[in-house]
Amino acid sequence: MAAGPMKMRATLGQGFTDVRVLMTHPMETGQRKDSDGKLVPLHFIQNLTVKVNGKPVVEAQISQAVSRNPVFSFRLKGGAKGDKIEVSWLDNHGDTNSTEAAVA
């Protein structure tokens, strides 16, 4: 499955940077049944990495308990206008997607 779009916003505050990233993902729990009564196999984002100017700052391991089309929002210490923030994910099928944005 081709990974759907991602969208990120990074805004500078007083001594911190607020990052909010939206991603398209089915996040299947492995417990849902389709219309034929068959289990829909597990399909979820396992790892989420946030890099600031190429340096990893967040390494998250998440589970199927997170909703479909998740949104992640976090606050980073410091930051400056124009810093490049890159967010990427890896799911249990080995699919990945990433997006980057400059702090505004």
Q: Residue 84 CB, nearest distance to another protein (Å)?
A: 20
Contact 65, 56 (CB under 8 A): no
Q: Residue 28 CB, nearest distance to another protein (Å)?
A: 9
DSSP summary character for residue 66: S
Residue 11 or 53 having the CB closest to another protein: 11
Residue 38 or 55 having the CB closest to another protein: 38
Residue 24 or 98 having the CB closest to another protein: 24
Q: What is the four-CA torsion angle of 59, 63, 67, 70, rounded to 10 degrees?
A: 20
